[in-house]
Chains A and B, each alone.
Chain A
Amino acid sequence: GAVVSQHPSRVICKSGTSVKIECRSLDFQATTMFWYRQFPKKSLMLMATSNEGSKATYEQGVEKDKFLINHASLTLSTLTVTSAHPEDSSFYICSASEQFYGYTFGSGTRLTVV
């Protein structure tokens, strides 16, 4: 099946610093990857759609300058939370779609900003 690897799984950072989260498709090429944010006991909220070789498409209300997305290759997309603040603390999940296996998710990144 399709496998998506996401790192790190947990990160604690100081307020004002930046954090990069990586999402890799291990055994397939993903022209499109998706970044989600999940608040406690809530469903997934799509933040942006990442397209290889072009700018990401952000959902309404998501600050593109705070959440930088780069999709440099067909197997790697990164999300950088810039100048993180405590309110950015959340569970971030990436996913990629593969023709036969549907949407596969990474294991998620628990970000805590202190």
Chain B
Amino acid sequence: QKEVEQDPGPLSVPEGAIVSLNCTYSNSAFQYFMWYRQYSRKGPELLMYTYSSGNKEDGRFTAQVDKSSKYISLFIRDSQPSDSATYLCAMSAGSNYQLIWGAGTKLIIKP
């Protein structure tokens, strides 16, 4: 079993829809949870950074962490074609610890 599980997709939704992306993990020591967006041939771009449990909102993006269920989510409201990219979850036990990555979910927003 991988430490972090993420459905690779692709996930295709119409423009304007709410997108839900998820990861599950097995290591209860993880404290830092991140979502990255990666466009083709580019480095990952940090979208959301959450410490421990709870919700965090930034514009159209909301990140949720449920440590009791070992489950994290990223919601994208009012999705746009420019949101089409691969979304990777990542987590670590400490700020200088190795990041453990999900496989990444390819998201396609259809105009």
Tell whether, in the assembled complex, residue B34 and residue A107 are in contact, meaning their CB atoms are under 8 Å apart: no
- Closest-CB distance, B19 to chain A (whole angstroms): 19
Q: Are B43 and A106 in contact (CB under 8 A)?
A: yes
CA distance A36 to B38 in the complex (A): 14
* Chain A binding surface, main DSSP class: strand
A86 on the interface (CB 8 Å rule)?
no
Interface check B107, CB cutoff 8 A: no
In the assembled complex, A25 has its CB within 8 A of some CB on chain B: no
Interface residues of B in 24-60 (CB under 8 A from A): 32, 34, 36, 41-46, 49
Indicate with 1 or 0, residue by residue over B84-100, a CB within 8 angstroms of chain A CB atoms.
Answer: 00001010100110110
Chain A contact residue count (CB 8 A cutoff): 23
Contact of A105 among B41, B45, B49, B104 (CB under 8 A): B45
Give the residue of A44, A102, A106, A108 whose beta carbon is less than 8 angstroms from that of B34: A102
Which residues on the A side are within 8 Å of B42 (C-beta)?
A: 107-108
On chain A, the residues within 8 Å of B102 by CB distance are 43
CA distance A103 to B45 in the complex (A): 9
A interface with B by C-beta (< 8 Å): 6, 31-32, 34, 42-44, 46, 49, 91, 93, 95, 97, 99, 101-108, 110
| Residue contacts A-B, CB under 8 angstroms, 30 given | A6-B43, A32-B96, A34-B98, A42-B103, A43-B88, A43-B102, A44-B88, A44-B101, A46-B98, A49-B98, A93-B44, A95-B99, A97-B95, A99-B95, A101-B46, A101-B49, A102-B49, A103-B34, A103-B46, A103-B90, A103-B92, A103-B99, A104-B46, A105-B44, A105-B46, A106-B43, A107-B42, A107-B43, A108-B41, A110-B41
Binding site for A on B (CB under 8 A): 32, 34, 36, 41-46, 49, 88, 90, 92, 95-96, 98-99, 101-104
